């Protein structure tokens, strides 16, 4: 291949060198548009821009043009309002596809002269979530990016040849940026402009090229089923996968269908590429990447894709083999991945607690058929009022809508647990495993017993009606009320736990329901058993009045 160093991409235009198809763009046109953008940015005195575009070729033009003008580039993860607000003071303009922002096509200036880019002065910033959950800005130099694309070409360039690069991942993040844009540009391989999110789209694009390779995510590769034309797709030169672990079964199916193992890439926005593997082998570090472990077993990384002298302290537990290869043992922090999207649980928790209905929030991953997030909440008084007067569905839909301003739909909780208080352990902590278990457990069907006292054979229990009681569903959807039959069942069940009662239920007498019991109510239950008449007397009282009362008639089992 005719390799051009990353810093030399604007030095000499080559019209015969294809960049993209549909629509076509050659290297000469790329240079002209990038240098025209550079002239416009310089003319306007712009120093810092945020770029978020869907077209991979437009991203290439924006990056090269900004760097030629000496402008630093920020790649925000999304264009949500909180994201714009967070970075507003750090950029001079937003270069996007959206109405109201600046567009690449707005710049029709006479191009600046061709020139080499400065490896150390050209800056790119990526956005991700740090271990604290706060959105984190990761600054990189062009030298770090150039080192990485050269390493990728050294490893796999010969096998790829002239393959067109087809991607299912976004170019706003380091994996898509390197594999779909910068590496193909330097190698002279054409790339598909659009992100293709579905297997059928990937197949359709693959049929357009005699040689092709995929830059994909585990989420897409897992969805590639029997309906595809696998004999035709087996011409793929190489399948790359990154953003999360590819399940062994999915990798095996791809191997059987394509006669090759997908190449998994391990890395992050902070570190760039760390290692790669095929099949179920251990991870093989990239050349010049040096790995070690801290005292807690977390992976430490020194790399040419990091600032010189910097050692990246990750939250990945690992075991390093004698030959330098390694095995990952799981995350040590509370940043999780869903469908290869990196999601900060603390950030979403803070966003939830910004809503007036939420006093406390803890999130976890619910591992069922499809992994998703769940939320355990303690409601404020206004939140409890909303639950009582609008119902659970309305409350959770409102909170999902609130949260959608801060995250993608993928990160919106699918399961909700409404609690009186968070279940802290004796050390005042709430281990993530406890939250995950709570989210997996079914909604409660019994009251929380806060206190119980016995005097002269009579019991007084202080009960809390769980806000998330399963029996509230359907009774009633917009105004949950504790069913009378449940009140009777609780009285009998608690009576059996505390007293020696006959086993057989024989009927009810003098039932009265006078006050509604609602989610979150605290109520006293008074129990007294009359052994001569085999009757259990119960009364539920709130602070001011009797809510319900009655007698449960019991019989011995052999009666």
DSSP-derived secondary structure letter, 380: -
Provide the token pair at 409: 């739909």
Instruction: State the sign of the Cα–Cα–Cα–Cα dihedral 223, 225, 230, 232.
Output: negative
pLDDT for residue 134: 60
Residues 90-102 as b/e (b if ≥16 CB within 10 A, e otherwise) read ebebbbbeeeebb
Residue with tokens 């992100």: 195
pLDDT for residue 425: 60
CA 314 to CA 231: how far, in whole Å? 41
pLDDT for residue 130: 47
pLDDT for residue 50: 97
Which residues of the chain carry a pLDDT beneath 70?
1, 129-135, 331, 425-429, 557-559
CB atoms within 10 A of CB 74: 20
CB 249 within 8 A of CB 242: no
Residue 49 Cα distances to 41, 138, 195, 226, angstroms: 9, 15, 23, 44
* Strand partners of residue 126: 75, 138
pLDDT for residue 1: 62
Q: Note the Cα 532 to chain centre separation in Å.
A: 62
For 92-109, give the secondary structure using H, E and C.
CEEEECCCCCECHHHCCC
Contacts of 369 (CB under 8 A, 6+ apart): none
CA 491 to CA 341: how far, in whole Å? 48
Q: What angle do CA 64, 69, 73 make, to 5 degrees?
A: 60
pLDDT for residue 68: 97
pLDDT for residue 431: 79
pLDDT for residue 243: 81
Q: What is the pTM of this model?
A: 0.69
CA 107 to CA 261: how far, in whole Å? 44
Residue 326 Cα distances to 152, 165, 249, 319, angstroms: 20, 29, 21, 6
């Amino acid at each position: 291949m005719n390799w051009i160093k990353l810093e030399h991409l604007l030095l000499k235009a080559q019209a015969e060198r294809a960049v993209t198809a549909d629509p076509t763009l050659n290297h000469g046109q790329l240079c002209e548009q990038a240098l025209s953008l550079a002239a416009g940015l310089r003319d306007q005195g712009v120093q810092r821009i945020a770029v978020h575009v869907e077209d991979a070729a437009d991203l290439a033009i924006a990056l090269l043009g900004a760097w030629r003008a000496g402008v630093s580039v920020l790649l925000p993860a999304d264009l949500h309002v909180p994201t714009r607000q967070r970075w507003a003071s750090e950029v001079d303009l937003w270069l996007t596809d959206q109405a109201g922002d600046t567009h690449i096509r707005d710049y029709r200036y006479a191009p600046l002269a061709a020139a080499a880019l400065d490896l150390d002065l050209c800056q790119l910033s990526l956005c991700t979530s740090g271990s604290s959950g706060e959105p984190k800005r990761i600054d990189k130099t062009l030298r770090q990016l150039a080192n990485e694309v050269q390493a990728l070409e050294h490893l796999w360039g010969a096998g790829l040849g002239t393959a067109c690069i087809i991607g299912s991942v976004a170019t706003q993040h380091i994996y898509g940026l390197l594999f779909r844009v910068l590496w193909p540009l330097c190698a002279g391989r054409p790339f598909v402009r659009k992100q293709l999110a579905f297997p059928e789209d990937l197949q359709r694009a693959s049929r357009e090229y005699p040689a092709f390779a995929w830059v994909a995510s585990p989420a897409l590769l897992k969805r590639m089923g029997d309906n595809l034309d696998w004999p035709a797709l087996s011409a793929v030169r190489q399948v790359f996968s990154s953003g999360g672990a590819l399940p062994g079964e999915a990798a095996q199916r791809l191997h059987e269908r394509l006669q090759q193992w997908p190449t998994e890439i391990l890395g992050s926005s902070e570190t760039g590429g760390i290692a790669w593997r095929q099949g179920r082998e251990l991870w093989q570090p990239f050349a010049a990447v040096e790995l070690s472990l801290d005292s807690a077993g977390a992976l430490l990384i020194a790399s040419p894709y990091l600032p010189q002298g910097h050692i990246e302290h990750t939250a990945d537990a690992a075991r390093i083999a004698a030959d330098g290869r390694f095995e990952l043992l799981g995350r040590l922090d509370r940043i999780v991945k869903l469908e290869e999207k990196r999601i900060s649980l603390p950030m979403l928790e803070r966003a939830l607690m910004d809503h007036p209905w939420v006093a406390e929030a803890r999130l976890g991953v619910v591992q069922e058929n499809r992994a998703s997030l769940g939320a355990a909440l303690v409601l404020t008084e206004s939140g409890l009022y909303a639950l009582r007067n609008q119902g659970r569905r309305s409350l959770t839909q409102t909170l999902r809508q609130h949260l959608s301003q801060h995250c993608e739909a993928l990160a919106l909780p699918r399961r909700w647990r409404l609690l009186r208080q968070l279940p802290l352990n004796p050390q005042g902590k709430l281990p993530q495993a406890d939250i995950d278990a709570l989210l997996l457990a079914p909604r409660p069907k019994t009251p929380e017993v806060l206190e119980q006292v016995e005097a002269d054979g009579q019991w007084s229990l202080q009960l809390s009606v769980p806000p998330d009681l399963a029996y509230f569903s359907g009774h009633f959807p917009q105004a949950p009320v504790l069913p009378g039959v449940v009140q009777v069942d609780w009285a009998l069940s608690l009576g059996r736990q505390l007293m020696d009662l006959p086993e057989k239920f024989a009927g009810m007498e003098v039932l009265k329901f006078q006050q509604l019991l609602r989610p979150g109510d605290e109520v006293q239950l008074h129990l007294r058993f009359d052994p001569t008449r085999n009757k259990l007397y119960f009364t539920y009282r709130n602070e001011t009045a009797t809510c319900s009362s009655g007698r449960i008639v019991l019989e011995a089992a052999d009666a």
